[in-house]
Amino acid sequence: MRTRGYRIHTWGGPMLWEEWETPEPGAGEALVRVEACGVGLTVLNCMRGDLSDTAPLPRAPGHELVGRVLAVGEGVSPDLVGKRVVGYFYLTCGVCGPCRSGRDSRCANMAGWLGVHRDGGYGAHTVIPAANALPIPESIEPTLATAIPDAIATPLHVCKTRLELTPLDRVVVIGAGGGVGIHMVQMARLFGASVCGLEIDEAKFPAIRDAGAEPTLSRQWDDARLPSAWRGEPATAVIDLIGSRESLGWSMGALGMGGSLAVLTTFRDRSFPLAPREMVFRELRIVGSRYASKAEVLEAARLVADGRIKPVVSMVVPPEEIERAHEALRGNTLLGRGAVRWPAGAG
């Protein structure tokens, strides 16, 4: 099968519009016709080679893909054909201890990432491991569904599994208007927490309020303030989606006794001072959070289908305008996620 789309030939290099041969699905694989693909900062990081700059090229980027299964290979249930699926980002083995115990993102034998080591949703068709094709409810519109496998599943993992939030928590989300941030606000509210959303772009404040948080301007860290409704109480948790030295330092100062700092960014050469004495006296906790499990992706889809989480996809573009979405990301003007929508019959 011939398909069309964007591929990169060097990590950090430009995307090229091309046509190429999509192979028939082999054993354990599924052929997916892509309906839409999410556009977020992680895609740009992948294209730069931040996750891997040694994976084989050329490659079609895009890990937040949504599509229909057209065919499956040997050993895959034919019931998967025709199903709408989202792509699971991590290429896991499925047989190691973490995979068998439902902690897929900690796979001991991970083979890489969708959109980095396997073609993703920037092409009209792709062949992926069938275990990475997770069926979702038909009621979810494809462009909205692109937020599920990362921008919504990641907050679910943070709030439920890593921080175990309750209605007693006061949570700060740094970068609250971004693709993960706006859904992190919704998820923390779903768990009952009171939420403060830090953001540098005041144009995103109404959406942050709609998501359930009190927005706070954070252009200057010395001026960032916690909500007056907290009556001087510190945060019990800070979720930092920016990962700068300044944001991390501010986060530690904003936490009260027994508070937790959740970090999700993976930028190279980022660090900040840490005083063990302070950690002990205040019994603070720093929590890393690594993507989500497959079960959490499926749970995230159910939350969307039930109307409990609302996907925020503010820019939907056809393939030929995908760079417009990239520019909005780079300029920090994109509210929530963007998405590329493939026309029916593309490829």
Which range of residues forms the domain containing residue 6?
2-147+311-341
pLDDT tens sequence across 62-114: 999 999 999 999 999 999 999 999 999 999 999 999 999 999 999 999 999 99
Backbone phi and psi for residue 158, each to the nearest 5 degrees, phi listed first: -65, -55
User: pLDDT by residue (tens digit) across 265-309?
Assistant: 988 889 999 999 999 999 999 999 999 999 999 999 999 999 999
Inside any domain, residue 233: yes
Shared-domain flag, residues 266 and 186: yes
Position 347 scores a pLDDT of 64
Provide the whole-model pTM. 0.96
State the pLDDT at residue 267: 87
* CATH number of the domain enclosing 98: 3.90.180.10
Q: Are residues 40 and 167 in the same domain?
A: no
Residue 158 pLDDT > 80: yes
Assess if residue 108 is contained within a domain.
yes
**Is residue 295 assigned to a domain?**
no
pLDDT at residue 263 tops 80: yes
127 and 175 assigned to the same domain = no
Shortest CA distance to 246 belongs to which of 220, 279, 285?
Answer: 220
SS (H, E, C) the chain: CEEEEEEECCCCCCEEEEEEECCCCCCCEEEEEEEEEEECHHHHHHHHCCCCCCCCCCECCCCCEEEEEEEECCCCCHHHCCCEEEECCECCCCCCHHHHCCCHHHCCCCCCEECCCECCCCECEEEEEHHHEEECCCCCCHHHHCCHHHHHHHHHHHHHHHCCCCCCCEEEEECCCECCHHHHHHHHHHCCCEEEEEECCHHHHHHHHHHCEEEEECCCHHHCCCCHHHCCCCEEEEEECCCCHHHHHHHHHHEEEEEEEEECCCCCCCCCCCCHHHHHHHCCEEEECCCCCHHHHHHHHHHHHCCCCCCCEEEEECHHHHHHHHHHHHCCCCCEEEEEECCCCCC
Instruction: State how far the Cα of 341 lies from the Cα of 137, in Å rounded to an integer.
Output: 18
pLDDT band (50, 70, 90) for residue 129: very high
**For residue 119, pLDDT beyond 80:** yes
98 and 20 fall within a common domain: yes
What's the number of domains the chain is made of?
A: 2
Look at residue 296 and tell me if it is in a domain: no
Q: Do 318 and 255 share a structural domain?
A: no
Q: Identify whether 128 is part of a domain.
A: yes
